[in-house]
Structure 1
Amino acid sequence: MSYSNQTRRLRDYLHSRQTPMQELLKELILTESPSTVPASQGKILRILTEAWRKRGYLVRYLPGKKTGGHLLALPQNRAKNQAIQLLLGHCDTVWPLGTIAKMPLYSQEGKLYGPGSYDMKAGLVSSIFAVEAILAQDLTLQVAPVILINSDEEIGSIESTQAIRKLAQRANRALIMEPSLGPRGKLKTRRKGVGRFTVQVIGKAAHAGLDPEKGASAILELSFVIQKLFALNDPVKGISVNVGTIDGGIRSNVIAPESKAIVDVRILNLEDVSAIEQKILNLQPTTSGTKLIITGGIGFKSNRG
């Protein structure tokens, strides 16, 4: 069979399976699964386990200590010593429990919308039915699809990283089943590296009306730090630095003794990692009487206070 005929048959098969694909996606969307509530992962992992078992896969649940755990699915009919390709996805979302009541599932112009549909429950459904289509057409693959679904991706894959690395080292190739690039569905061949930093400012409390000169405002200092961080943005080099959340102070009439910011960093080129990391970790206070404690790193590889 020619390549074009195989492609056409796979396409036609998938078109014929649109209804069950939509039904499974609806079920996954309605099953809320925030990363920060490990118990919420149980139901969606059971749904995915059953879906893969129906496609002839052996499914193993790998429990987590602080997360909902993850699934490893292996084809039952894999030939001995057959090479593998890793299909990697996640079932957790950033949406808190109860979001579905405020952002209900709906369909519009042939598309399903709802919390977690894009990132990345539709990708999980695509994986399942892609493998089903290959099996239905009785195609012989040189590399066997092996599936790993984690439930902690949105919080940095804190427990599943070890399993991902182990499988990636054995696999001939890996496909991350996240959304494709743009409306034409282009394959992403690289992505920015990710970093996370916490900036804590220690100041000195004082009454804002009676003796403000005795205090050192952690909030004032944080405002200077934020400006320094945003100055590190470099669109030409693909460097983005964003202060996503801030917190601080104890009441309006007290000079703030503490403040904190959480910083997200994205870097396109490996050669820029060290310089940006050092600039952030080595920031110095501007406000007299304050102290900075900065932790984190690019890829969570460094930690300095």
Structure 2
Amino acid sequence: MATSKLIQGDTLTETSNAADGFNPATEVSAYSYTSARVAKPVYNKYKASTTKPKVFGYYTDWSQYDGRLQGDDSKDNRGRGYDLANVSPTAYDKIIVGFVGVTGFHKVDNLWRDVVAEGADQCGKVKYEPTFLDPWGDFQSYVNVGHTVSGWDVDPKTVTQSNTKGLLGGLRDLQAKAKQQGHDLVLSMSIGGWSMSNGFHETAASDAARKVFAKGVVKLFKQFPMFSEVDIDWEYPNAEGAGNPYGPEDGENYALLIGELRKQLDAAGLSNVKISIASSAVVKTLGYSNVNALLKAGLYGINVMTYDFFGTRGRRA
């Protein structure tokens, strides 16, 4: 490891491994609590190009946390503990922030139900509006997100781009550093995801709900103008995903949702904001997204999720 260009030692991870009797060289079934701190901040460098593929990355608000940094080695509070300071301002063309939920949904047995409800309550959101889920991590925290003091007094209901701490404040500052270096770092917010797609089926099915959703997206872009793209991550239209409601009408309603969002963004003077979706790489599931109609409704791009193409089940990775 001492000569590795990619990984490095992390004392807190090694202490956890010793306490658990965990050997990362041989373990194949027990859960690893390896911190993201073991990864060295190494990035490829590319010449600026308008024709070559862009480099995107997701950044989650929960990746900042690790109780071990505060002396708590309990398993429930161990986390990735990644420091945003390790991200080069010029490494990515776009960073997608995950995740924003849709207010008012989630099954009783869904572990995200209370998370969405609490986030919506603190942010003052109503049913069908998109909401950030972790006001502390998004707007108020300071460890691993580039701040020296917390924003404990920042009100999630009235937070702005200028006064936010947390991950959004850190990304604001990262984008500014990129600009100082002559690089255009695009910031996008992802709405939905595997754990937060429960509300899309109902939201897309009603004209009134679509209007509330789109208006809520516009409010977020007015609140945080550093964002210039929104990524709708519905997993999945006409497919269950994580036990979500679905139906054959989803594809048609998806196009109506994208159309309403495009309409309201334009009316609010946000015609520069681009709309993309995240989609399954499974051809049948992708087909249910009704992509041609989405493009006609105002869709800009598609992020095809290929996470499951390779895994431990295969003989090669």
TM-score, structure 2 as length reference: 0.26
TM-score, structure 1 as length reference: 0.26
Larger relative contact order (CA 8 Å, sep ≥ 6): 1
Q: Looking at CA atoms only, which structure, 1 or 2, has the larger radius of gyration? A: 1
**Higher strand fraction: Structure 1 or Structure 2?**
1
